Amino acid sequence: MKTTSLRADAARTLFQVLEQGKSLRELLPELQSQHKEQDRAWLQEMLYGVLRQLPLLQYWLRQLLEKPLKSNQKAVEHLIMLGFYQLAFSRVSQHAAVAETVGACQNLKCPGLKGLVNACLRNFIRQNLQQNLPDDKQILSGLPKWLYKKLLQHYPEQLDEISAAMNTKAPIWLRVNTTRISKDDFTAELDKADITYLSEGLPAQALLLTKGMDLTQLPGYQQGWFAAQDGAAQQAAALLAPQKGEHILDACAAPGGKTCHLLEYQPDIHCTAMDCDPGRLQRVEENLLRLGHQAKVVCGDAANPEDWWDGKQYDRILLDAPCSATGVIRRHPDIKWLRKGADIANLAQLQQKILHAIWALLKPGGTLLYATCSILPEENAQQITAFLQCQADARLSPLHEADNIDNPGWQILPGEMQMDGFYYARLIKS
C-alpha cells in the first residue's frame, strides 16, 4: 500500500484525464488499489467533484492565477482546483484542505510552487470566492460549451434539470438474478443484513439501494444473486421480450449487462453476444459465469457482419450502439471532457452504418431494439427517422403513445425516475 499523498495522486489523475484524454473508468481502479480502503471513497469524491464542477473551478482559478502555469507544471493547476473544490463543496476543514493541498506539491515534484498554491487557497478563503458566481449559465451548468449549446438547442426547458441531474451522484440499482433467487427471497436476505432498499414501482427485477456500498459485500455476490444495472438499462429485456426457443443477437454486448438480463427474462433462448473489444468480451464471459448463464460470445465488427456472422437470421436483435454516453455523465463525469462536439457526427455515422448492417441479420417479422445511453437526438430519434425513411421493410413498433415517425422512440432523460439518460426505439421487419 502506498503512503503517498491522496491529493497529489488526484491532481495527477486529473492531469491524465483532462490533458491526456485518458478515461477515469480505466485509471480509477488501479489508483484506488494503491490507497487504503478508508480513503478510496474520498479519492473518488474529489475526482468526480472536480470533473463535475470544472467550469466554475476554472472560473475561480482565472481570477487568482495571473497567467497559466507552464505545461510541465499543469498538474499544479489541477491541484489548486482540487483545493477550491474542497473549500467550496466538501466538509473538510479549511485548515486541512489548505495544509494537505499545499503539502501535495512536494509529491508532485513542484516544491517551488508551494507558495503559489498556498496563496491561491488563502485568497480564495479571504475573498470568499465561493460566493462569487458568474452570470454565465454554461459555467454554472458544469457542462462544456459544446454540450451546453446542444442541450440548450434540444431541451431549452429541461436544461437546468438535466444539468443538475448530470452533476448528482447516481443511485445504486440492482437487478435480481431471478434464475438464481426470487426477488422476495433476495430482499429477505437484505433485510437480515440490515441493508435498506426501495422496490416499489420499479422494473420487475430491480431494486434501488438507499445507501452506497461495496457490492461484493452484499449477500449472494459470489452466488450470482444480483448484478448492478441502472433502471434505464433494465428496460431493454422487456422491450425486446425474447420468447422461448428464439435466436437472439445482442450486438455491441460488452460487458454483458443486457445479455445476462435477456437470459434471466427468458432463460430458454439461444443468445449470441457480440462485441468488437476482446478485453470487454472477457468481462461478458465473467458476468455470464458469475450469474450462471450461457451465451455464444463472438468478437467482431457490427458494421461488417460478413466477417463473423454464420448466415442464420435472428428472431430478435438488441443493438446497444456505441454512443456519446451523454446519458450516463452522472456516473462518469469524465465523459464531458473526453468527448468533443465533433465526435457526435462521427458517432451518428457509425451508428447508421451498424444499424443498416445489422438489419440484414434480422428475420422477416423479427424485432430489433435500438438502444443508446445518449440524450442527443442526432444519435437517437433523428437516427431512427432517417432509417425508417430509407429502409422500406422497417416499421416502428411504438413504446408509448407519442412514439411515432415524427419523434420516434422513448427518450429517458437523466434523473427521470432516478434512471440514467437512455434511448430506445423498437423496429419490426416486414
Ligand X SMILES: C[S@@+](CC[C@H](N)C(=O)[O-])C[C@H]1O[C@@H](n2cnc3c(N)ncnc32)[C@H](O)[C@@H]1O
Q: How far is the CB of 296 from ligand X (least distance, A)?
A: 15
Q: Is 369 in the site for ligand X (CB under 6 A)?
A: no
Q: Is residue 373 among the annotated active site residues?
A: yes
Is 343 annotated as contributing to ligand binding?
no
Please write down the HEC assignment for all residues of the chain. Answer: CCCCCHHHHHHHHHHHHHCCCCCHHHHHHHHHHCCCHHHHHHHHHHHHHHHHHHHHHHHHHHHHCCCCCCHHHHHHHHHHHHHHHHHHHCCCCHHHHHHHHHHHHHHCCCHHHHHHHHHHHHHHHHCCHHHCCCCCHHHHHCCCHHHHHHHHHHCCCCHHHHHHHHCCCCCEEEEECCCCCCHHHHHHHHHHCCCCEECCCCCCCEEEECCCCCHHHCCCCCCCCEEECCCCHHHHHHHHCCCCCCEEEEECCCCCHHHHHHHHHCCCCEEEEEECCHHHHHHHHHHHHHHCCCCEEEECCCCCHHHCCCCCCEEEEEEECCCCCHHHCCCCCCHHHHCCHHHHHHHHHHHHHHHHHHHCCEEEEEEEEEEECCCCHHHCHHHHHHHHHHCCCEEECCCCCCCECCECCEEECCCHHHCCCEEEEEEEEC
Q: Using the rule CB under 6 A, which residue among 258, 293, 330, 426 binds ligand X?
A: 258
Q: How far is the CB of 299 from ligand X (least distance, A)?
A: 9
Set 120, 323, 373, 390: catalytic member: 373
Is 258 annotated as contributing to ligand binding?
yes
Q: How far is the CB of 122 from ligand X (least distance, A)?
A: 45
| Helix axes of 114-126 and 74-89: crossing angle, nearest 10 degrees | 30
Q: CB under 8 Å to 125, separation ≥6 — which residues?
A: 87, 94, 98
Is 300 annotated as contributing to ligand binding?
no
Q: Is 232 in the site for ligand X (CB under 6 A)?
A: no
Q: Is 361 in the site for ligand X (CB under 6 A)?
A: no
Is 348 annotated as contributing to ligand binding?
no
Q: How far is the CB of 291 from ligand X (least distance, A)?
A: 12
Q: Using the rule CB under 6 A, which residue among 11, 129, 218, 253 binds ligand X?
A: 253
Q: Is 257 in the site for ligand X (CB under 6 A)?
A: yes
Q: Is 252 in the site for ligand X (CB under 6 A)?
A: yes
For residues 336 and 51, is the Cβ–Cβ distance under 8 A?
Answer: yes
The site that binds ligand X (CB under 6 A) totals a number of residues, namely 19
Q: Using the rule CB under 6 A, which residue among 230, 264, 275, 379 binds ligand X?
A: 275
Q: How far is the CB of 264 from ligand X (least distance, A)?
A: 13
Q: How far is the CB of 250 from ligand X (least distance, A)?
A: 7
Q: Toward ligand X, which CB reaches closer, 31 or 233?
A: 233
Q: Toward ligand X, which CB reaches closer, 301 or 416?
A: 301
Q: How far is the CB of 302 from ligand X (least distance, A)?
A: 3
Q: Is 242 in the site for ligand X (CB under 6 A)?
A: no
Contact letters for ligand X, residues 294-333 (x by CB under 6 A): -------xxx----------------x-x-----------
81-87-89-91 Cα dihedral, nearest 10 degrees = 140
Q: Is 254 in the site for ligand X (CB under 6 A)?
A: yes
Q: Using the rule CB under 6 A, which residue among 280, 290, 331, 332 binds ligand X?
A: 280
Q: Toward ligand X, which CB reaches closer, 8 or 318?
A: 318
Mark the segment that binds ligand X (CB under 6 A) among 38-46, 203-211, 256-264, 406-414.
Answer: 256-264
Q: Is 290 in the site for ligand X (CB under 6 A)?
A: no
Q: Is 241 in the site for ligand X (CB under 6 A)?
A: no
Sign of the Cα pseudo-torsion (204, 282, 214, 166, in order): negative
Is 301 annotated as contributing to ligand binding?
yes
> Alpha carbon 4 to chain centroid distance?
29
Q: Is 376 in the site for ligand X (CB under 6 A)?
A: no
Contact residues toward ligand X (CB under 6 A) are 233, 252-258, 275-277, 280, 301-303, 320, 322, 354, 373
| Residues labelled catalytic | 373
Q: Binding site membership: which residues?
A: 252-258, 275, 301, 320
Residue numbers in the known binding site for S-adenosyl-L-methionine are 252-258, 275, 301, 320
